[in-house]
Amino acid sequence: MPPRSANVNVMVAAARKAARGLLRDFGEVEHLQVSKKGPGDFVTAADHRVEKILLQELKKVRPDYGFLLEEAGRIEGADPHNVWVIDPLDGTTNFLHSIPHFAISIGLVRGGEPIAGVIYQPLTDEMFWAEKGLGAFVNERRLRVSARRKLDEAVITTGIPHQGRPEPARFLRQLAAVMDATAGIRRFGSASLDLAYVAAGRCEGFWEWGLKPWDIAAGIIMVREAGGYLSEIDGGHDLLGSGNILAANDHLHLPLGSLLRAN
């Protein structure tokens, strides 16, 4: 394993510090499920607490970098080229329902392109990290996308449109087509972990419409450094701008993309 850069070390340390409170809050949410108040407000507060810790820790070490945060929005930095793109709790609905599948996602974007990323699942203590030119890893183990070459052997992950999301009819057409062509589809509810799983070879591909930069910035560099391919679903390359993402291993990106675009 190559030595991690100073920036990745900062990201890893910030994620671990923020995760301590998140683990405590997850235990509280499990108790709140049966209360009259319910866990919604509590989870929103947990989200903000985690984001505040990440902001403080990263700003302490890189005071000139800007931020794009899910909760607080954009914070301009003195250095216009480097931006931390942060989702403090990717998988909020899972967290809200005591489903143990969520992550802290931190991406570093330089000149509009992700160059480093950390995706941390605190319950399993899996620290996915990647840096441009250095590869992708989970903890100390190098990641590589799956080598499967046939769609009928592939497991694909996706995000299902929910209330307020556009074009459910288009998604249902694509879902039917992918169901018919593959070994299975999974919907886990955390886009950052979906991308980390593509990088780790746990699934062969992922697609979703209308994601935000903080959902995918860290995952983009993760998949690329693990040998995978990414594009917009329609074939374009403005991933952070559109949020319409298709990620897959090097053998299945083209056939999966063709299948989605045909439906």
Quick: pLDDT tens for 204-255: 999 999 999 999 999 999 999 999 999 999 999 999 999 999 999 999 999 9
Mean pLDDT of all residues in 113-119: 97
Question: How many domains does the chain fold into?
Answer: 2
pLDDT for the residue numbered 138: 97
Q: Are residues 182 and 120 in the same domain?
A: no
Q: Are residues 131 and 172 in the same domain?
A: no
Alpha-carbon distance 225 to 246, whole Å? 16
Instruction: Tell whether 1 is covered by a domain.
Output: no
pTM of structure: 0.93
Final residue before a domain boundary, out of 96, 114, 142: 142
Q: Are residues 70 and 189 in the same domain?
A: no
Instruction: Tell whether 212 is covered by a domain.
Output: yes
Name, in order, each residue with C-beta under 8 angstroms of 53's C-beta and a sequence gap of 6 or more.
14, 17, 18, 21
CB 236 within 8 A of CB 209: no
Q: Are residues 201 and 120 in the same domain?
A: no
The string of pLDDT tens digits covering residues 147-200 is 999 999 999 999 988 766 666 788 899 999 999 999 999 999 999 999 999 999
Instruction: Find the domain containing 162 and state its range.
Output: 151-261
Q: Are residues 178 and 255 in the same domain?
A: yes
Q: Are residues 47 and 128 in the same domain?
A: yes
In the sheet that holds 141-142, the strands lie side by side as: 73-75, 65-69, 79-90, 103-110, 113-121, 126-131, 135-138, 141-142
Final residue before a domain boundary, out of 125, 142, 159: 142
pLDDT for the residue numbered 32: 60
Q: Are residues 46 and 116 in the same domain?
A: yes
pLDDT for the residue numbered 37: 42
The string of pLDDT tens digits covering residues 54-94 is 999 999 999 999 999 988 889 999 998 999 999 999 998 88
Q: Are residues 13 and 133 in the same domain?
A: yes
Q: Are residues 14 and 67 in the same domain?
A: yes
Final residue before a domain boundary, out of 91, 111, 142: 142
Helices (H) then strands (E): counts for the chain:
8, 13
Q: Are residues 110 and 202 in the same domain?
A: no
CATH value at residue 168: 3.40.190.80
Q: State the residue for tokens 């592939």.
A: 154
